[in-house]
């Protein structure tokens, strides 16, 4: 025992040395990693060809390799933007808010035929490629310059702040295109970015705040929840109310539960749609929004109608029924139209149109079949032999009128 302990003690310094070495190598690795990921510490990286100097530097878009060096005063903003070059176009833009639309952008790329770097200014009046056009709203003290080194592309320009009226520099937009996709040499048009972001920048303190949040998840959730509420729960609940009265009073409870659940979902979808609207500036969703609010108001009235239902035998019950049934049907038809408008606004394409279209077609087939069955049953009251499927009216034949029918 004693001998073994002694042996262990003798081994201890060696073990400690091992731990120390491990720590040291981790530390060295961390140092070299930060040196690699912070190009601002190596100012020598700026090519001497660029005819002006800058004093500040920040890592503009950390997931990508955009680095911005700048010097700002009351009249001139000098900027050198550099990015690791991978055979695409790169861009920095400016706008008064974080949106693309209404902004001006400097786009840089290496012409694949001449091999020369190109730099051009564009104005973005919309999110369609045809709406991103060559422009000269931003005025410079001298022509913007573009340079490439083995792995980096530089765009350098000095903005004449006084002459560039109407251009706000507070928000910076960043984007880059897909590999091998460049502006056309004659029309100057180019294709949508592969990735983009925007930042609110404070030139005095040199700090950037992210202002772009990807609306994709919110947009999808809004779509799925809307389709589940407006496209499944509410219409199926209505189908139950219209065609399943033979199961009295079960149909009524199923109907109420489905409509209440559906209403909760469409309320959530409306709230999501509202915050989505703030995020997707420049997307034309006006009709979708208007119709969405309208059908929501109808749905709210349907809910209050459930609560304010007159007694079954009250005289006004007939009017209530008429109103509740027709407002409900109108809401469902308009909501279906609105789902398609939403898919259109979000450019959801075939996948979304197809999926929702399929749901709609199944529901329509069910409605048509049930409508025919109930019609045949109604007209076949005198000829029991013609009745198909369930006996829709058997419950009501005992003299009492159908309690919840039209």
Ligand X SMILES: *[C@@H]1O[C@H](CO)[C@@H](O)[C@H](O)[C@H]1NC(C)=O
If one asks whether residue 174 binds ligand HEM (CB under 6 A), the answer comes out as yes
Displacement of CA 262 from its chain's centroid (Å): 23
- Taking CB under 6 A as the binding criterion, the range among 42-50, 101-109, 363-371, 393-401 that sits at the site for ligand HEM is 101-109
Q: Give dist(CA 253, CA 243) in Å, integer.
A: 14
Distance CA 334, CA 44 (A): 63
User: Does 125 participate in binding ligand HEM (rule CB under 6 A)?
Assistant: no
Site for ligand X in 69-128 (CB under 6 A): 73-76, 78
Only one of the segments 100-108, 154-162, 238-246, 330-338 lies at the binding site for ligand HEM (rule: CB under 6 A); that segment is 100-108
- Within 275-314, the residues that bind ligand HEM by CB under 6 A are 280-282
Q: Which of 29, 33, 35, 129 binds ligand HEM (CB under 6 A)?
A: 129
Confirm whether residue 325 is marked as ligand binding.
Answer: no
What's the CA gap between 110 and 287, in Å, rounded?
Answer: 42
Sheet arrangement for strand 152-160:
56-61, 66-72, 76-84, 152-160, 145-148
Is 146 in contact with 209 (CB distance < 8 Å)?
no
Give min distance, CB of 147 to ligand HEM, in A: 19
Contact of residue 75 among ligand HEM, ligand X, none (CB under 5-8 Å per partner type): ligand X
393 labeled part of a ligand binding site: no
4 burial (CB, 10 Å; 0-12 / 13-18 / 19+) is: exposed
Q: Which of residues 45-74 bind ligand X (CB under 6 A)?
A: 73-74
CB-side neighbour CA atoms (13 Å) of 131: 11
Residues 6+ apart with CB under 8 A from 382: none
Assigned token pair, 387: 């009745």
Angstrom distance (rounded) from CA 322 to CA 129: 50
Residue nearest to ligand HEM (CB): 100
Residue 224 partner contact from ligand X, ligand HEM, none using kind-dependent CB cut-offs of 5 to 8 Å: none
Q: How far is the CB of 327 from ligand HEM (least distance, A)?
A: 35
By CB under 6 A, tell whether 108 contacts ligand HEM.
no
Q: Smallest distance from the beta carbon of 66 to ligand HEM, in angstroms?
A: 10
Residues that bind ligand X (CB under 6 A): 73-76, 78
């Amino acid at each position: 025992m004693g001998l073994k302990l002694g042996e262990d003690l003798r081994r201890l310094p060696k073990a400690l040395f091992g731990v120390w070495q491990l720590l040291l190598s981790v530390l060295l690795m961390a140092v070299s990693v930060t040196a690699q990921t912070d190009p601002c510490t190596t100012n020598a990286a700026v090519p001497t060809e660029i005819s002006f100097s800058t004093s500040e530097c920040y890592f503009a878009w950390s997931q990508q390799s955009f680095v911005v060096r700048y010097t700002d005063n009351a009249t001139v903003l000098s900027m050198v933007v550099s990015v690791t070059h991978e055979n695409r176009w790169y861009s920095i833009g400016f706008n008064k808010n974080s949106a693309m639309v209404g902004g001006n952008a400097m786009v840089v790329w290496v012409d694949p035929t001449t091999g020369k770097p190109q730099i051009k200014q564009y104005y973005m009046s919309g999110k369609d490629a045809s709406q991103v056009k060559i422009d000269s709203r931003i005025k410079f003290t001298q022509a913007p310059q573009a340079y490439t080194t083995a792995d980096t592309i530089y765009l350098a320009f000095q903005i004449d702040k006084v002459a560039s009226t109407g251009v706000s520099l507070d928000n910076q937009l960043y984007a880059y295109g897909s590999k091998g996709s460049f502006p056309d040499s004659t029309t100057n048009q180019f294709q949508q970015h592969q990735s983009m972001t925007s930042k609110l920048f404070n030139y005095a303190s040199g700090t950037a705040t992210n202002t772009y949040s990807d609306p994709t998840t919110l947009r999808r959730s809004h779509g799925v929840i809307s389709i589940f509420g407006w496209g499944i729960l509410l219409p199926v609940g209505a189908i139950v109310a219209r065609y399943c009265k033979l199961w009295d009073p079960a149909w009524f409870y199923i109907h109420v539960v489905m409509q209440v659940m559906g209403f909760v979902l469409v309320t959530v979808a409306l709230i999501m749609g509202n915050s989505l609207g703030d995020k997707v500036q420049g997307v034309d969703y006006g009709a979708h929004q208007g119709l969405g609010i309208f059908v929501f108001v109808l749905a709210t009235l349907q809910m209050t109608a459930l609560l304010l239902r007159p007694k079954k035998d009250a005289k006004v019950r007939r009017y209530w029924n008429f109103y509740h049934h027709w407002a409900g049907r109108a809401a469902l038809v308009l909501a279906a139209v609105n789902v398609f408008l939403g898919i259109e606004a979000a450019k959801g394409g075939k996948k979304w149109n197809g999926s929702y279209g399929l749901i709609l077609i199944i529901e329509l087939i069910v409605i048509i079949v049930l409508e025919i069955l109930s019609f045949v049953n109604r007209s076949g009251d005198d000829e029991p032999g013609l009745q198909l499927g369930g006996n829709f009216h058997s419950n009501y034949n005992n003299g009492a009128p159908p309690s919840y029918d039209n």
